[in-house]
Structure 1
């Protein structure tokens, strides 16, 4: 009996240990040798080479190493299909190989053939399944980066191909080249060709500039596009394109010969004013608020915000209360003009009264309290601040309190002393 028990114990231990082995993550098996030897091994095995170009300080590189390359199905895919090579681009052979491989960002992942030619490149960190799909394209003769580039250079230009090519440029982090070639292709199309199904993904993902005849065609023919692709799809494209453009005007910083495109801004406003786009007035209100803030023209700034409130221009804008609160807060910071402060108090009161989420309401009430104090109504300011504190405690109790994290203070970074 004792012997049987011992045998059962040993069997269970073996099963337990084998189970643990199965549970362990397999990893991508990277070569840690010279590039010359990696090429030789790839030729011998007739495999493509997958290269992980990293640096010791690169956070996304570490994430890929820890969270992606340690997953079983990722390891199985790379180990069976490639000779895998991992190289620090700042050490060993890295600096020598970097120029030829045109490495400008990390992580960069290359797929290289047995001749040493880079046929595919991916820049950035991705989830496991998405990353595998991008790498699989290197194994397809007509979809890897090298093949797409060759087809483009020989004149291929149909919509489906151009989408694949522009997408490959984006994956390779060749943003300027992507933007230039997308713009050139879109401008080459007859206006009605923009309506073709094969060109929609190019419009959706690569048409970024609203101040072009092609985008104006999309805006003017919004309903025709909606019949083909759905109303939400086209409206989201129009709105997001204008929003990005408004941001570029808002955060414009002069320098290196760059000048603010005032004519472009005015034309954008004109295009929106003459369109039938449902959210045009919302975009105009946001753009003009930013513009007059840039110019420090607080009288016109207040006129825009007054108009947005009086005519309910932002009634469907998801951040309308934040719009009015931030505008009120801005006036409180930049002027002592009693009329402007009184107008700002109206915006702050509207935001505080209409906001139902206590975590936001507390901040809006604080803005209201500040403005009440600035216009000389100390008693009402005290009352509003008490309401703000009450809402803040309610948010904390509900676990929804918004905690502000101060920005890092830059400066104090002295260069190393020369020996």
Structure 2
């Protein structure tokens, strides 16, 4: 599997799907689902998924299939399962601003979004998410109206922020600002720091001052070195906003380096430039590739996760032996640092693409074993392994 994706939604029209005795998903298009929901006075539960989403597959395998989940959802909802990257799923994703997967949408017969949730859930928690959707006091649409009426309770704001962080960025920012503008306690919890860092993208953002003014309290919870690294990242993002013209898509290298060298040594500024340009041109592999080869030259200085992500990106897009061989070195270093299903799978796929079937088989077997031990989905790796026999 490449790299672990925390969140992930095709229209299934071949007929009603029933996973064992679990949730029974309806056939038909969105209009038909809304008509049925209105007729039966129920909400639509929509599993908004993508085919590449690991957690989506685990939900389909582990949670949707359970009897108690099926009993609750089949009794209370019109259940649907729609791929957000195919057919009418594309428009549904735009309409309801689905940005992370798996997302779960609870929609009334008029098409109004009443509640939403996202991520992987165990059975009992998923049933609770459904109960929240039919409880007027817990429906997201009701909570948003309460916020708009001026609610300032810290626990309420924290809960609402966590519900909207991936689904409504603009509202999330408003909630965060109200939370920190009304915060009286000078201590900071990990949850509060996570909220703050989710709200501050650069040193130009309004809440950056909160981050700076409360350094002493924040570093009681996270290491001072980590605080400094985050601060540099925020400063780099501000410089990036100055150096990159989004209209012309031109990057001013000299301006970026000059601004960054006010905060960090020249060598770090050069690495920051590579990182920033990788972020800007990331969708264009032809531009990303030479930047990444320079940036990850000293592989030992990067984390296992970051190396694995870069190696998988090269597996998916690179064709030349030299680039793929460099990606193998990154994946090997990732495994050396922290062996996992994800990076051993990456290594297996890279060896296979290079034509080294022996090593591909060794690492595919290792990856499947690790996935089984961790309870991860290994369907794609098993297919690779079967093809190597």
TM-score by length of 1: 0.47
Structure 1, unaligned stretches of length 5 or more? 1-23, 223-233, 267-287, 298-328, 334-399, 413-419
Give the alignment partner of residue 68 of structure 1, picking from 60, 63, 81: 63
Partners of 1:195 and 1:35 in 2: CA distance: 49
Find the counterpart in structure 1 of residue 331 from structure 2.
none
Assess if the C-alpha contact under 8 Å between 1:250 and 1:294 holds in 2.
no
Distance 1:184 1:76, change over 3 A: same
SS of 2:152 mapped into structure 1: coil
Give the alignment partner of residue 294 of structure 1, picking from 253, 264, 268: 268
Find the counterpart in structure 1 of residue 160 from structure 2.
165
SS of 2:156 mapped into structure 1: helix
Give the alignment partner of residue 54 of structure 1, picking from 26, 39, 49: 49
1:181 counterpart = 2:174: yes
Shift in Å at residue 245 of structure 1? 0.4
Q: Deviation per CA, 1:203-230: give whole Å up to 9, x if none.
A: 24312259744345544457xxxxxxxx
Distance 1:217 1:246, change over 3 A: closer
Q: CA RMSD in A?
A: 4.6
Give the alignment partner of residue 214 of structure 1, picking from 182, 203, 210: 210
Assess if the C-alpha contact under 8 Å between 1:48 and 1:114 holds in 2.
yes
Distance 1:123 1:164, change over 3 A: same
Assess if the C-alpha contact under 8 Å between 2:25 and 2:80 holds in 1.
yes
The structure that has the greater radius of gyration is: 1
Distance 1:240 1:160, change over 3 A: farther
Find the counterpart in structure 2 of residue 106 from structure 1.
101
Structure 2, unaligned stretches of length 5 or more? 1-18, 246-250, 272-296, 302-336, 354-389
Give the alignment partner of residue 38 of structure 2, picking from 30, 36, 43: 43
Partners of 1:241 and 1:174 in 2: CA distance: 28
With 37-46 and 68-77 compared, the bigger mean Cα shift is at 37-46
SS of 2:151 mapped into structure 1: coil
SS of 1:214 mapped into structure 2: helix
Distance 1:88 1:238, change over 3 A: same
Find the counterpart in structure 2 of residue 205 from structure 1.
194
Shift in Å at residue 70 of structure 1? 0.8
Partners of 2:73 and 2:261 in 1: CA distance: 49
SS of 1:87 mapped into structure 2: strand
Give the alignment partner of residue 235 of structure 1, picking from 217, 220, 240: 220
Partners of 1:129 and 1:243 in 2: CA distance: 40
Find the counterpart in structure 1 of residue 244 from structure 2.
256
SS of 1:49 mapped into structure 2: strand
Give the alignment partner of residue 123 of structure 1, picking from 108, 118, 123: 118
